[in-house]
Structure 1
Amino acid sequence: MSTSTSDRAAGTVTRAEYCVIACAEAWRDNGEVLASPMGLIPGIGARLAKRTFAPDLLLTDGEALLVGLDGTAEGWLPYRHHLTMVTGGKRHVMMGASQIDRFGNQNISCIGDWQQPARQLLGVRGAPVNTLNNPTSYWVPRHSTRVFVPQVDMVCGVGYDSAAAAGPAATRYHRLPRVVSNLGVFDFRTPDRSMRLASVHPGVTVDEVRAATGFALAVADEVPHTREPTREELRLIREVVDPRGTRDREVKP
């Protein structure tokens, strides 16, 4: 989506608002799929996307209902139907990552040797099923070398190299559209499916991103900025979707 200078938002756009826009873009052109944002800013992004360029998205209350823009129940979504959407590829989830490597392997289970970890985290949860059956993106609110690591301590979400090693059954529906952090946007549009810096948020330099990443990123000679929100998008973020400014709690101004 291109925006002219006259259509760009007036005033200062915060880092959190750029992150909202970057997360919202994950669901562009997805059609009628269940958006499953995990995290505050991805949730704001999904609601913004549905209000603007992705009206066919399905939103859920996180339990058993499909909901409209105002939270009104629109349909019943029992867990068996939810799993049908997951395994049928009719869902695009944006998960978090305690660790993620250059091929998109994600860890939310433990830090250290899984037989005797130094730190126990959430556990594998549904990450393998998510990544092998429907599009899976990631949101990292604090980009650092502790999160962007050379090799994850345990593979929960399946990356491109792990899927390739497992064979056609794993690669058939495997797709990682993007990773969004508080520094920029990343994808895997490289010949070897390694992570590429797709854009930096305004105010961030490529060198800052490289210094905060524990592996060598694919970086073009010129890296664009994350796109500006339109005036209407910024109004919706500030006045309708997140009028209390909770986004700034996750990514500081």
Structure 2
Amino acid sequence: MSGTAGASRAETCVVACAEAWRGDGEVLASPMGVVPTIGARLARLTFAPELMLTDGEATLMADVPPLGTAPAVAEGWLPYRRHLALVTGGRRHVMMGASQLDRYGNQNISCVGDWKRPARQLLGVRGAPVNTLNNPTSYWIPRHSPRVLVERVDMVCGVGYDRAAAAGPSATRFHRIPRVVTDLAVLDFETPDHVMRVRSLHPGVTAGEVRAATGFPLVVPAAVPVTRAPTDVELRLIREVLDPAGLREGEVRA
């Protein structure tokens, strides 16, 4: 079915996030953020029924409830220790956030400025190194700007393609960054030297706007497709089943 012209920017971002899990098979989808969570659940209900989903804690969900609602049926239990074991084998695809992200996909969520005396203290490194070296990691950036997409991150938390390659085969075995979804575009690293390129532009966004909002030179193909809009079925699922409260609109500027 064709895309729906009346979809909001947030709803387009939901579909773009869902597409990150297309073709992954039976892996654990670990979305972080409202839009990626709706996206993972949308993928499960449409083209990726084999995806495993959790309630955000330790329950593997057999059904796909709306945001903020507990699952009616649990199909498994995934406590922290077992989750860590799963992470090390490439059987999870996480979609994380990024306070800073550079052209090779190095991510920072720890601090802004010199780490010895940072101007801003953020979450900390958390599980980013293990995530990025041991399973596919995509990113969701709800505010595409030069402050986030930077020439050089102030601290490396998630490992990018250049650093993984420098570390050798042990680092590159499961390392993969399939997508970066922002409120302006979908980006990837499918270039010979694994630098960031524009994969698609969201409806109404120009390549010039994306370049101006990025702190380093982006690879922009001569012909860039438009990010697909939700189908009628997907839009109904987003609005009526997964996010009837409209929380998605609070995460993406109009």
How high is the TM-score relative to the length of structure 2? 0.95
Task: Determine if contact 1:183/1:209 at 8 Å carries over to the other structure.
Answer: yes
- Give the equivalent residue in structure 1 for 2:6: 12
Alignment of 1:58-207 (within 5 A): 58-67=52-61, 68-70=63-65, 71-72=71-72, 73-207=74-208
| Separation in structure 1 between the aligned mates of residue 174 and residue 91 of structure 2, nearest angstrom | 11
**Moved segments of 4+, more than 4 Å:** none
Task: Determine if contact 1:9/1:234 at 8 Å carries over to the other structure.
Answer: no
Task: Determine if contact 1:9/1:232 at 8 Å carries over to the other structure.
Answer: no
| Separation in structure 1 between the aligned mates of residue 96 and residue 230 of structure 2, nearest angstrom | 23
Task: Determine if contact 2:3/2:228 at 8 Å carries over to the other structure.
Answer: no
Percent identity reads 71
Q: Provide structure 2 residue ranges, at least 5 long, that are not aligned to the other structure.
A: 66-70
| Separation in structure 2 between the aligned mates of residue 235 and residue 211 of structure 1, nearest angstrom | 34
**1:104-147: CA deviations, max 9, x gaps?**
00000000011111110000000000000000000000000000
Equivalent pairs counted in the alignment come to 247
- Give the equivalent residue in structure 2 for 1:3: none
- Give the equivalent residue in structure 1 for 2:240: 239
Task: Determine if contact 2:189/2:195 at 8 Å carries over to the other structure.
Answer: yes
Q: Per the alignment, in what secondary structure is the counterpart of residue 60 of structure 1?
A: coil
Amino acid at match of 2:105: G
Displacement after TM superposition at 1:178 (Å):
0.5
Task: Mark the CA change 1:9 to 1:219 in structure 2 (over 3 Å): closer, same or farther.
Answer: closer
Task: Mark the CA change 1:10 to 1:151 in structure 2 (over 3 Å): closer, same or farther.
Answer: closer
| Separation in structure 1 between the aligned mates of residue 245 and residue 59 of structure 2, nearest angstrom | 25
Q: Per the alignment, in what secondary structure is the counterpart of residue 36 of structure 1?
A: strand
| Separation in structure 2 between the aligned mates of residue 125 and residue 146 of structure 1, nearest angstrom | 21
Displacement after TM superposition at 1:80 (Å):
1.6
| 83-92 or 93-102: bigger deviation | 83-92
Of 19, 25, 32, the residue aligned with 1:25 is 19
| Separation in structure 2 between the aligned mates of residue 62 and residue 41 of structure 1, nearest angstrom | 14
Q: Provide structure 1 residue ranges, at least 5 long, that are not aligned to the other structure.
A: 1-6
Task: Determine if contact 2:5/2:229 at 8 Å carries over to the other structure.
Answer: no
Displacement after TM superposition at 1:252 (Å):
2.7
Task: Determine if contact 2:53/2:60 at 8 Å carries over to the other structure.
Answer: yes
Amino acid at match of 1:130: N
| Separation in structure 1 between the aligned mates of residue 97 and residue 193 of structure 2, nearest angstrom | 23
| Separation in structure 2 between the aligned mates of residue 80 and residue 51 of structure 1, nearest angstrom | 28
Q: Per the alignment, in what secondary structure is the counterpart of residue 191 of structure 1?
A: coil
Superposition RMSD in Å: 0.9
Of 37, 41, 44, the residue aligned with 1:43 is 37
- Give the equivalent residue in structure 2 for 1:4: none
Q: Per the alignment, in what secondary structure is the counterpart of residue 45 of structure 1?
A: helix
Displacement after TM superposition at 1:9 (Å):
4.4
